[in-house]
Structure 1
């Protein structure tokens, strides 16, 4: 009798676990890499041209602007996933951004949207709803209108502006069904873009899905569905079929993984800050000035894990020390050259091996494989240290662990428990 009761209890626990645990695994794709026409080095050099705009956004000091403010300045990140909005569903390739919250997509009619963009048709969706300026959600955005409280006036839609790279768009805050196969998320809040001003070459053609930590992000809007957990895996540029995966929810995440705590910045609460304590090249712990890695919410200083920046950037004192130690150990006899964003390129005919780079964090040492440290040319015997110094401006205080250094790693963002983990995984 006792064993029978125990079996029933275990079965009940299993049913509860299965019914309350959820996971969705979606492929993600690189939006611009074409292995048949470009080498990995050429692709990275092209993509990294937009990194300074990205760094301007990540390092900007915001003390009084709402999280989803139109003051955000972004560059087009490099990864997209298949999603659909509306009833019946209208498909899009949405750009993923781990440092942004609000989703948005171009809607019909749209003034000066990129001509190649598919437009969302609100009139064709039976579940579409524009939000009014009286909606509490409207307060998360910098709106372009003043909202009257008079009940006698016609309700005014919540419209807002947002800067994106060298462009600005105006959008209507809206809700509709979001489909992330196999899941359907009802009443998902997003921006329905109505007009674009300025050049649109850096604007994602089919919209953006925010995976940040703020109130309008995917995790915040899905509540218990994904339980505040997601992960992504980015394959190497050497992979011909450049597709990885986005895994939503705690089920199926790697069991053998080490985590480091996430830090909270109330002025930039969307960003995934971690406490980096040092960097090693090979077995040498690089000496940097005291406080170089310090986290400071007031200035935005610290280190951010970001999928939209292409190559990792470090503030000048850190990068110069890292680069000098790397050069010392490589010891290229004919010296080093610069190429695009890279200032430490050398002949692989002279250098057989290169040292690994380790990022030291609280409770975690992230050893970067050589393929995450070097980028090679396919046309010449040339390799470059695939990192760079942060732009030299007044806000250059943030370090960024970028997508190239995250390739072939499963990066787990456990927002519910305020931690991020890394595990080796072939992401092809």
Structure 2
């Protein structure tokens, strides 16, 4: 028996045998995890030690979100946002209702507004002189946009709305430009290219297509195509807009191209954590030595998303009896496994989820059960516990790598009275989504140029 004694241990190994003899366990620090989830701090600093590095903060740390709400209320709001996100992803990838065309960049995008996005923010400078703004990072989107003056209709954000008239580098895109020529059914107003993105829940952003300078730490990136939204409505309360990190050509990563080698790395700081380790870094220097690399899978029907080859699940060091076919991407682009920063809770096809959940339950019979909460059907009453012993939970990837999660990434507090739930849920389709709760505290690197995603080796 191998016992992991550290709460935030991360084990990434190459599998030599999928049939280990005895379960693996680790300790969940109940008291500290509950405390961390209740703490809220303001944070507006930008990391500038290296030119392509930014600090990542959870929405709960942005001042506009700090409130007197209890943990259950915040949890319920997060699950509501998450349900919208998952529903939109499934509809978009399936090609059904919920798929919308961008009238501004000529590439498909699904807004975090409808998807319930807005979990993790970075602070960047927009224009010259740079005006600092919070923007949502979204690995499933290819759009970059911010709210702009004159603001005919804007939602409330934590910083002053960006005013293009005060920027010496703002340049509206003309109707005859190459950018505007890629716009499907693009509009034109007074010689300027217009964009409009509409969403199924009534949210939208409308405005001008422009080239502008963005500032990341000490680095200026000039002539970035952005949407300057003059009429906006939706769920992005607090953030100025969105920074798309998807795999398409009009995302921030796609526009940078050779400047960063198609590579970036991020670490999502744990919810409520005192850690300042949440980072977003661009460039090949962000690719770590010693990571466990998993091939990216291309889905022509959803080029923005990062698909990876998940082959199985493990509980307590034992592989769950689920066919690898459950996780495969079909020739028609259905199913598969997506890494998504905007989804909170990992979704698995129902047969895989139920086998996974049952395996976890069978190894936690020592813990008192609690009633289901929201989308979670497996919860525990840990009131009064300082720490508990729980089985390890692992993702098995094709080719051998295994990612074993920290305990706080799969058993999470949902209220102020000690209720913890198994943080996975069944998917409404064949699509699997690895959400940000499971990604927190783990260094994740995307090498789009060479077609790999890396896990670790750093724990942040």
- Shared fold per TM-score greater than 0.5: yes
C-alpha contact 2:156 2:237 (8 A) present in aligned 1: no
1:376 equivalent to 2:413? Answer yes
C-alpha contact 1:309 1:402 (8 A) present in aligned 2: yes
Give the deviation of 1:242 after TM superposition.
5.8
- Write out per-residue CA displacement over residues 118-149 of structure 1, whole angstroms, 9 at most, x where no aligned residue: 222111112111112333323554445379xx
Distance in 1 separating the partners of 2:183 and 2:408: 41
Give the deviation of 1:416 after TM superposition.
1.0
Give the deviation of 1:43 after TM superposition.
4.5
Aligned position for 1:416: 449
Distance in 1 separating the partners of 2:75 and 2:340: 16
1:68 equivalent to 2:99? Answer no
Distance in 2 separating the partners of 1:413 and 1:212: 10
1:309 equivalent to 2:370? Answer no
C-alpha contact 2:381 2:419 (8 A) present in aligned 1: yes
Give the deviation of 1:57 after TM superposition.
2.7
Give the deviation of 1:388 after TM superposition.
1.3
C-alpha contact 2:109 2:143 (8 A) present in aligned 1: no
Aligned position for 2:423: 386
1:359 equivalent to 2:395? Answer yes
- Give the counterpart of 1:79 among 120, 125, 133: 120
Distance in 1 separating the partners of 2:402 and 2:116: 29
- Aligned Cα root-mean-square deviation (Å): 2.9
In structure 2, relative to structure 1, the CA distance for the partners of 1:401 and 1:171 (3 Å cut) is same
Aligned position for 2:58: 30
Distance in 2 separating the partners of 1:398 and 1:167: 25
Aligned position for 1:248: 282
After TM superposition, the score normalised by the length of structure 2 is 0.78
Give the deviation of 1:56 after TM superposition.
2.2
In structure 2, relative to structure 1, the CA distance for the partners of 1:129 and 1:181 (3 Å cut) is same
Of residues 294-303 and 224-233 in structure 1, the stretch that sits farther from structure 2 once superposed is 294-303
The 5-angstrom pairing of residues 212-251 of structure 1 reads 212-241=246-275, 244-251=278-285
Give the deviation of 1:77 after TM superposition.
2.4
In structure 2, relative to structure 1, the CA distance for the partners of 1:423 and 1:140 (3 Å cut) is farther
C-alpha contact 2:329 2:337 (8 A) present in aligned 1: yes
Number of aligned residues: 394
- Give the counterpart of 1:129 among 165, 171, 174: 171
Give the deviation of 1:99 after TM superposition.
0.8
- Write out per-residue CA displacement over residues 372-405 of structure 1, whole angstroms, 9 at most, x where no aligned residue: 1111367434321111122x3xxx2311111111
The 5-angstrom pairing of residues 7-406 of structure 1 reads 24-33=52-61, 43-59=74-90, 60=92, 61-62=94-95, 68-69=107-108, 73-116=114-157, 118-138=160-180, 140-143=182-185, 145=187, 155-163=191-199, 166-197=202-233, 200-202=234-236, 205-241=239-275, 244-288=278-322, 291-296=325-330, 298-332=332-366, 335-348=369-382, 352-363=388-399, 364-376=401-413, 379-390=416-427, 392=428, 396-406=429-439
Aligned position for 1:425: 458
Give the deviation of 1:87 after TM superposition.
1.6
Give the deviation of 1:225 after TM superposition.
1.9
Distance in 1 separating the partners of 2:211 and 2:307: 30
C-alpha contact 2:347 2:426 (8 A) present in aligned 1: yes
SS of the aligned residue for 1:223 comes to: helix
Structure 2 residue ranges without an equivalent (≥5): 1-49
Give the deviation of 1:41 after TM superposition.
7.0
In structure 2, relative to structure 1, the CA distance for the partners of 1:341 and 1:35 (3 Å cut) is farther
- Write out per-residue CA displacement over residues 27-48 of structure 1, whole angstroms, 9 at most, x where no aligned residue: 1111224899678776544323
Distance in 2 separating the partners of 1:71 and 1:236: 26
Give the deviation of 1:274 after TM superposition.
0.4
Aligned position for 2:29: none
Distance in 1 separating the partners of 2:206 and 2:282: 30
Distance in 2 separating the partners of 1:71 and 1:375: 28
C-alpha contact 2:393 2:405 (8 A) present in aligned 1: yes
Distance in 2 separating the partners of 1:128 and 1:383: 49
C-alpha contact 2:265 2:286 (8 A) present in aligned 1: no
In structure 2, relative to structure 1, the CA distance for the partners of 1:239 and 1:92 (3 Å cut) is same
